């Protein structure tokens, strides 16, 4: 698997027209960079409480299904990443009041990339049950998307075609 390429000029690339430039990468890489999908999915992404998380995950699931039906793997993978991000952000807020997991600012050269980058992790607060429920809702939908046979087949085809 090739790494997600952060060196691309995301401001000018339409990944629907150029799926050859898209790399699955790891986890949520590129979730807030890859257009037009970011602009299509982001307005639906909410996790503040279980009701919003349920509505959000259902809307993103519907987009995921539409992308698969249109044989648009990049869109489906981006929808999967937004579901994953709904889970991870909800969990972060469930564990850390205010959503701050690490002490100190993110180095400018590491923004948008995962990991602590040498920063110390803050101790966890008492779990916020509202955010924990939002996380469970997103996790169930994310797991469903990641296990979808159509998604798996399209991912394998994309990786064989563009990432091998």
Out of 29-43, 56-70, 124-138, least confident range: 124-138
Q: How far apart are CA 156 and CA 162, in angstroms?
A: 10
Any idea which residue has 């394998």 for tokens? 156
**Number of compact structural domains in the chain:** 1
109 inside domain: no
Instruction: Give tens-digit pLDDT for 69-109.
Output: 999 999 999 999 999 999 999 988 787 665 555 556 655 55
- Residue 73 within any structural domain of the chain: yes
DSSP 3-state helix, strand, coil percentages of the chain (rounded to 5)? 55, 0, 40
Domain span holding position 27:
19-101+125-159
**Interacting residues of 35 by C-beta distance below 8 A, sequence separation 6+:** 10, 13, 14, 15
pLDDT the model gives residue 87: 96
31 belongs to a structural domain:
yes
The answer to whether position 6 is within a domain reads no
């Amino acid at each position: 698997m090739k790494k997600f390429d952060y060196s691309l000029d995301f401001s000018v690339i339409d990944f629907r027209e150029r799926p050859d430039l898209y790399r699955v990468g790891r986890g949520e890489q590129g979730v807030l960079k890859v257009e037009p999908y970011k602009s299509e999915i982001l307005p639906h992404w909410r996790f503040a409480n279980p009701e919003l998380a349920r509505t959000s995950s259902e809307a993103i699931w519907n987009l995921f299904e539409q992308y698969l039906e249109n044989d648009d793997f990049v869109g489906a993978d981006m929808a999967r990443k937004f579901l994953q991000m709904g889970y991870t952000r909800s969990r972060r807020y469930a564990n850390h009041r205010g959503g701050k997991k690490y002490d100190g600012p993110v180095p400018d050269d590491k923004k948008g990339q995962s990991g602590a980058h040498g920063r110390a992790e803050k101790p966890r607060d008492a779990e916020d049950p509202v955010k924990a429920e939002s996380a469970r809702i997103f996790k169930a939908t994310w797991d469903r998307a990641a296990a979808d046979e159509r998604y798996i087949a399209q991912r394998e085809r994309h990786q064989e075609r563009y990432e091998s």
